Amino acid sequence: MRYFIGNWKMFGVPKSINMLKKINTFYLKDKNRKKYRVIITPPYTLLESYAKFFKNKKISIGSQNCYQKDQFSSDTGAISPYMIRSVGAKYTLVGHSDNRNDGDTNEILKSKVELALKNNLVVVFCIGENKKDKKNKKTFSVLKNQLLKVLDKRFQKNKIIVAYEPIWSIGTGKIPTKVELEKTVIFIKKVLKVVLKKNSPVVLYGGSVDGSNVQLFKEIKEIDGFLIGGASKSSKKFIDIIKNYYR
């Protein structure tokens, strides 16, 4: 199974659902549709209406983040995993570099993952090294640390997807070389087998994925799908990624 996840970030208003309708129409006609899943993470403001619309359809809706406390609390502006699940979202991203930049520590992320799983959300846990880590050849140790400090085998095995997003690649048009990326994804899977005691962990790649480079990523069999930012804000670009992947 492959995953195409579109992370809209701060993008979208109610009428943007038309883009998702187009993706849904494409999906229903696509002869490859049994081979992949489409998930979109719109902003919180659209979660309920989109999740309702796509309830019995093939696109799943997820949130881009969640708060580290459950149920209700007195934290202004916070949205708990319980609240996200209650409006019909099935997935949540946790640990996106944007949120790590805003102060999400490993401890906070652990709590987010734990509570999201408790509320029956599938967690897409994002990890990635920055430019400096890469330059100093610290990529593997940074990634290992990000995984070990947050994940643990108590977490339900099948509810965690890991998205490897090198920070220097997000929104820059720069992508890792095939050799680099293959080695890194194999390394992440090796670590996940130990931490999650999981035999076939799901690992996605994210960072400047588009219709023109997706074929390169396809050559790396260990990559189970993609977390797509910029190109997910256009139905045509998003569909092109899927089309070109299966070309």
Shortest Å, Cβ 28 to ligand 13P: 25
Check residue 228 for interaction with ligand 13P (CB under 6 A).
yes
Q: Note whether 210 and 241 are within 8 A (CB).
A: yes
Q: Within positions 130 to 189, which residues make up the interface with ligand 13P, using CB under 6 A?
A: 165, 170-171
Q: What is the DSSP string of 127-150?
A: E---HHHHHTT-HHHHHHHHHHTT
Check residue 129 for interaction with ligand 13P (CB under 6 A).
no
- The type of residue at 3 is Y
In this complex, which beta carbon is closest to ligand 13P, that of residue 82 or of residue 128? Answer: 128
Distance of CA 174 to the CA centre of its chain: 19
Among 7, 80, 111, 119, binds ligand 13P (CB under 6 A): 7
Check residue 124 for interaction with ligand 13P (CB under 6 A).
no
Check residue 88 for interaction with ligand 13P (CB under 6 A).
no
Ranked by CB distance to ligand 13P, the top (closest) residue is 229
* Bridge partner list, 61: 40
- Site size with ligand 13P, rule: CB under 6 A: 14
Among 42, 176, 201, 207, binds ligand 13P (CB under 6 A): 207
Q: Is 96 one of the annotated active-site residues of the chain? A: yes
Among 229, 238, 241, 245, binds ligand 13P (CB under 6 A): 229
Q: Among the candidate windows 27-35, 83-91, 203-211, 234-242, which touches ligand 13P by CB under 6 A?
A: 203-211
- Give the HSE-up count for residue 86: Cα atoms under 13 Å, Cβ half-sphere: 9
Check residue 208 for interaction with ligand 13P (CB under 6 A).
yes
Check residue 43 for interaction with ligand 13P (CB under 6 A).
no
Point out the catalytic residue in the list 48, 129, 165, 219.
165
Q: Is 114 one of the annotated active-site residues of the chain? A: no
Check residue 65 for interaction with ligand 13P (CB under 6 A).
no
Instruction: Tell which residue, 12, 36, 118, 108, has the closest CA to residue 65.
Output: 108
Q: What are the catalytic residues?
A: 96, 165
Question: What are the residues binding ligand 13P (CB under 6 A)?
Answer: 7, 96, 165, 170-171, 206-209, 227-231
